Amino acid sequence: MTPRRRRMVLVGLVLAGIVVSAALALRAFQLNLQYFFSPTQVAEGEVADARNFRLGGMVLEESVVREEGSLTVSFVVTDYLHSVPVEYTGVLPDLFQEGKGVVTLGRMEPSGRFVAEQVLAKHDENYMPPEVAEALEQAREREQL
Amino acid sequence: MIPELGQFALVLALCLGLSQAVLPLVGAHTGRRDLMALARPAAAGQFVFVVLAYIVLTQAFLADDFSVRYVAQNSNTELPVAYKFAAVWGGHEGSLLLWVMILAVWTLAVAAASRAQPAVFTSRVIGVLGIVSVGVLAFTLFTSNPFDRLIPAAIEGNDLNPLLQDPAMVAHPPMLYIGYVGLAVPFAFAVAALLSGRLDKNWARWTRPWTVIAWLFLTIGIALGSWWAYYELGWGGWWFWDPVENASFMPWLMATALLHSLAVTERRGIFKSWTVLLAIAAFSLSLLGTFLVRSGVLISVHAFASDPTRGLFILLLLGLISGGALLLYATRAKLMVAEGGFRLMSRESFLMANNILLVTATGAVLFGTLYPLFLDALGLGKISVGPPYFNLVFLLPMLPLALLLGAGMHAWWMKMKGAALVRKLAWPAGLAVAFGIVLPLFVFGQTSFMTAIGVIAGLWVCGAALLDPLRRLLRPKQGMRLTRAHWGMVLAHFGVGMFILGATVTSAYNIETDRGVSPGERWETGGYEFLFRGVRDVQGPNFDAVEGEVELLRNGELIALLTPQKRVYRVQQSPMTEAAIDGRIHRDVFVALGDSLGGGAWSMRIQIKPLIRFIWYGCAIMALGGLLAATDRRYRHVPERARAGPAIEPGAVGEA
């Protein structure tokens, strides 16, 4: 091969590599987009497919139930317009409390129960996750209509 | 009265900053020496007043002056004194003051170390640093004044966020900021070079040590943050691809690219416009990081403030500073002429690949970080991008980078024969592959394709880094002299290899279980035996806690008594998990207390993390390598060398 052709082959290989990587990256991006929905959006059927999504709202007062000695907890996430029952097995984060904001990641079961893989509460105690604050705001507006 | 003194000092600093920003630049443009001579005194004056303001704020914390709103929000009489010092930067306003103070320190250091350089150039550098300083000072004074009064004064303070009451957290913000802000120096050097139209090897030689020092602090800062997240956020992960982490990681990636590009510009006088662009991009990303973290658009422990005017102000500042620099770049790009060429098989090519891959990774991370924010801003729904995306788009360019890195360290400048490189590296490569496959199988009994690749990459980088020192050790007669910069490169790359090993092995062989346990219960996880003795109440200076006692045994012998805590800080009434870790060089055993399950039983998270310490040790070694490289002789004796003109150092194997 002439040096020129060798260079062209090299450039071609690099380009092919870039195209494949970009395709992989975009696919990974597509697969890992997590949408955020409020209980009202869930109730109105906005959750199209069976993919994982993030459900956020307030933990309904007096809804947290734990079987004694078990790691499974169930509670209700609400925007005070609609509610979704949630089940989670594992250790809850420090800031998880009834009457406080929460974001959970998981999927809907056909029974209408949301099974969470992850419960997030990274904010401090008085601080509301912006998504949750906005979801509550929207629920309040709809109620007034 | 004293807090007003702090405010007054800040206003004076702003005035001095304005003169530092305007006069030297005008002087350099018109050639007026009297104006250029003002650069250093103005910088020194600004430094004095910013430090004064900082001392005043610290004093307000130590004196529990709750008539200052910021102190009332972030301190408490019960807060231990050490944390009162740290609380100064525990909130938004104070951390900005820290930012400004660190910039003042950098400026002063540049002013002091650049006496041998042409006055026109240094006055431009100091002037540009002045512009940045004015922007951030104005931001502090007009939107986030730490000296605002609270009337009537609070009787008791709201206490420092319990998450921040931790030794690593005390050091993390200053380290990170020294790095973040330090990137302003190469930025200022780049803009000064664009203004003067003079961009040569000497420029790169002046810029390089500053960049390395900023980079090494950034490395330490990010590593401390990761370490803190590991044991303090309570759940044992060390990197979450949280937007806040990405905000600090992107400037780091860019600074790393910049370091390597500067090496080429310094040695060979090429890649000039690219280097300048990287310097602008690195600092822009650190400003963007400040915006992301401080504007409240992100949910995290860092989002102190969600005041939209603040976000707008930072965005405006970012637009002015980066936009201005890019505009200047666009008009001056044709002034940057390459002084030479290189062959495909040369160190230049490897460093170019390094730059392309690092910038690609930065772009992918930036995309994943900003895309959700754009969608949200346009009202198109709320999404977030999951960690698997970041893992993939980060690993995709990083694997080839690791493989090329080992070879690139041994490539010559200009040109070399591929066969010579293969001959030199065949042994280390073979050993890395063999051990990379066999070692995990031997130690853990199983491996996977990706794990093997990761371990091979780690061993390969470590081995390739140690090749030159080893040869020197084995054949001292051949007289290969290693410069301090070369040692720095060896160490930094060895640290990268350790990091890769740690990250790979931890994620592949990490054992993690949540379980409910009752007092007296014994169980086995990952070859270790655990015995839960029960919980008891303990009291700290400003918190109450439940403390669990867990015996860690191996082959029936007690190795450690682990005491994980569940704390409730009295003032903020917020619960906090303090994990207990038995850390050894080869593994961590991590136990965290969850919730009470009733009947004396508790939920507990138990993790065994092999080689996880390699992640942070690796970062520490990288930083140490940076320190060696930055203090190499040729930077300490710049004046003579600068006068001697561009000479190629004899005997140096090449330091990149």
Residues B113-126: tens digit of each pLDDT: 988 889 999 999 99
Give the pLDDT score at B645.
41
Question: Which comes out higher in pLDDT, residue B493 or B572?
Answer: B493
pLDDT tens per residue across span B329-358: 999 877 777 777 888 889 999 999 999 999
For residue B392, the SS3 value is helix
Mean pLDDT of B50-54: 97
Which of A11, A20, A92, A94 best tests the B interface by mutation, with the highest count of B CBs <10 A?
Answer: A94
DSSP string, B71-89: HHHH--TTS-HHHHHHHTT
Least confident stretch, B70-74, B159-163, B354-358: B159-163
Give the pLDDT score at B306.
52
Give the pLDDT score at B387.
86
Nearest to B179 by CA among B619, B639, B548: B619
Inspect the interface and report whether the beta carbons of B516 and A129 lie closer than 8 Å.
no
Question: Which comes out higher in pLDDT, residue B183 or A108?
Answer: B183
Is A35-144 in CATH node 2.40.50.140?
Answer: yes
Q: Are B390 and B368 in contact (CB under 8 A)?
A: yes
Per-domain residue ranges for chain A?
1-32, 35-144
Nearest to B56 by CA among B14, B99, B48, B157: B48
Instruction: Tell me how close the Cα of A4 comes to any Cα of chain B, in angstroms.
Output: 12
Inspect the interface and report whether the beta carbons of A10 and B572 lie closer than 8 Å.
no
Nearest to A91 by CA among B531, B150, B564: B564
For residue B598, the SS3 value is strand
- Name the one residue in this structure whose structure tokens are 């931001």: B139
Phi/psi of residue A36, each to 5°? -105, 130
Which residues of chain A are within 8 Å of residue B384 when distances are taken between CB atoms? 33-34, 36, 54
Inspect the interface and report whether the beta carbons of B595 and A91 lie closer than 8 Å.
yes
Inspect the interface and report whether the beta carbons of B299 and A29 lie closer than 8 Å.
no
- CB-nearest partner of A35 from B233, B381, B572: B381
User: Alpha-carbon distance B22 to B13, whole Å?
Assistant: 14
Q: How confident is the model at residue A142 (pLDDT cuts 50, 70, 90)?
A: confident
Q: Full-prediction pTM beyond 0.80? A: yes
Inspect the interface and report whether the beta carbons of B514 and A91 lie closer than 8 Å.
yes
pLDDT tens per residue across span B409-452: 999 898 888 888 999 899 999 999 999 999 999 999 999 999 99
Q: Are A55 and A77 in contact (CB under 8 A)?
A: yes
Nearest to B318 by CA among B270, B274, B285: B285
Number of A/B CB contacts below 8 angstroms equals 112
Least confident stretch, B88-97, B145-154, B188-197, B469-478: B469-478
Give the pLDDT score at B297.
60
Give the pLDDT score at B489.
95
Which residues of chain B are within 8 Å of residue A13 when distances are taken between CB atoms? none
Q: Chain A within 8 Å of B77 (Cβ-Cβ)?
A: no
- CB-nearest partner of B603 from A25, A31, A71: A71
Which residues of chain B are within 8 Å of residue A66 when distances are taken between CB atoms? 595, 597-598
| Residue in B with minimal Cα distance to A102 | B299
Give the pLDDT score at B416.
85
- What is the 3 state secondary structure string of chain A? CCHHHHHHHHHHHHHHHHHHHHHHHHHHHHHCEEEEECHHHHHCCCCCCCCCEEEEEEECCCCCEECCCCCEEEEEEECCCCEEEEEEECCCCCCCCCCCEEEEEEEECCCCCEEEEEEECCCCCCCCCHHHHHHHHHHHHHHHC
Give the pLDDT score at B296.
60
Inspect the interface and report whether the beta carbons of B597 and A93 lie closer than 8 Å.
no
Q: Give the pairing type, strands B601-610 and B511-517.
A: antiparallel
pLDDT tens per residue across span B192-201: 999 988 888 8
Residue B107 pLDDT exceeds 50: yes
β strands within B431-563, DSSP E: 511-517, 522-525, 528-539, 543-554, 557-562
Inspect the interface and report whether the beta carbons of A131 and B515 lie closer than 8 Å.
no
User: Alpha-carbon distance B487 to B629, whole Å?
Assistant: 7
Which residues of chain B are within 8 Å of residue A33 when distances are taken between CB atoms? 383-386
Q: How confident is the model at residue A53 (pLDDT cuts 50, 70, 90)?
A: confident
Query: A 99-138 residues with CB below 8 A of B?
Result: 122-125, 127, 129-131, 134
Which of B231, B396, B513 best tests the A interface by mutation, with the highest count of A CBs <10 A?
Answer: B396
Inspect the interface and report whether the beta carbons of B306 and A130 lie closer than 8 Å.
yes
Which residues of chain B are within 8 Å of residue A93 when distances are taken between CB atoms? 234-235
User: Alpha-carbon distance B363 to B222, whole Å?
Assistant: 19
Q: Are B578 and B555 in contact (CB under 8 A)?
A: no
Inspect the interface and report whether the beta carbons of A33 and B385 lie closer than 8 Å.
yes
User: Alpha-carbon distance B285 to B247, whole Å?
Assistant: 8
**Percent of chain B's residues with pLDDT above 70:** 94
Give the pLDDT score at B211.
97
Give the pLDDT score at A122.
56
Instruction: Tell me how close the Cα of A110 comes to any Cα of chain B, in angstroms.
Output: 23
Q: Are B38 and B124 in contact (CB under 8 A)?
A: no
Question: What residue type is B59 in one-letter code?
Answer: Q
Q: Are B62 and B84 in contact (CB under 8 A)?
A: yes
Q: How confident is the model at residue A35 (pLDDT cuts 50, 70, 90)?
A: confident
What is the average pLDDT value for chain B, to the nearest integer? 89
Mean pLDDT of A20-33: 85
Which residues of chain A are within 8 Å of residue B235 when distances are taken between CB atoms? 91, 93
Least confident stretch, B273-282, B285-294, B517-526: B285-294
